A = this chain, B = another copy of it.
């Protein structure tokens, strides 16, 4: 598809990849923005922020071809859950807290920096913090696969703080998923099982919190891109059905026009 309809991009790990599920936040965004903005799921199960860099470079259009392509009106970046894995000899998954911060800055600067070959000044950016881990639930799940616990509560909490710090220092809005889930669980690690399937991934109620927090940040920071603020690219049928020349009305519109 060409530049007729712009897009929202969700870049993240399995928490994003799995979110086309019936209650997933990418599914809900897709429904909210239908006929307004394409919603693109760039979720990469098991990836950390380091592996995301070469992938995102390949997905982003370079300046010289941007004119032919949907404009990325909103970019949501959600890493940290895999970066925070506890280093294990058989996997090279884990990323240090300082590397998470610099990787997030690199991802953001790909679109924000005027020096970037992918510079995209119209792109709004939101960072999301990883969810808290329920290590009791996670250990039980991994044990059923013959594996040991691979994460700990405090490290994931620290990585969530790293994401928030990047947002504060670089003035990028943050959807604080960690804090929202933690507070919804009454600040009790055991109770997090209300929102997690396996101690790490989100169930329907967990995704509802993600969706609500993301929409809150959009409402607060980028209200012009709320679904109700946008036109459909093409007119609603009943504007056509009463026209004597409906074909004349079937021209692409600016979704942001008042």
Contacts and interface: CB of A to CB of B under 8 A. Distances in A.
B30 A41 contact: yes
A38 to B, nearest CB: 6
A103 interface: no
Interface in A208-242: 234, 236-238, 240-242
Contact of A1 (B30, B47, B70, B82): B70
Interface stretch (A18-26, A154-162, A172-180, A195-203): A18-26
Contacts of A40: 1, 38
User: In this complex, which of A31, A55, A238 has the most chain B Cβ atoms within 10 angstroms of its Cβ?
Assistant: A31
A237 B45 CA distance: 7
A139 B47 CA distance: 52
A173 B72 CA distance: 34
B1 A9 contact: yes
Interface stretch (A58-66, A109-117, A124-132): A58-66
A206 interface: no
Interface in A67-122: 68-70, 72, 82, 90-93
Given A1-B70, A34-B41, A69-B1, A234 B20 contact: no
Contacts of A153: none
A236 B59 CA distance: 17
B17 A51 contact: no
Given A54-B247, A90-B241, 10 more contacts: A1-B60, A1-B69, A1-B70, A2-B59, A20-B34, A46-B238, A54-B250, A61-B68, A91-B241, A92-B246
18 contacts: A1-B61, A1-B69, A2-B69, A4-B58, A4-B59, A20-B30, A27-B27, A30-B41, A46-B237, A46-B241, A47-B237, A51-B246, A51-B247, A90-B242, A91-B241, A92-B240, A92-B244, A93-B237
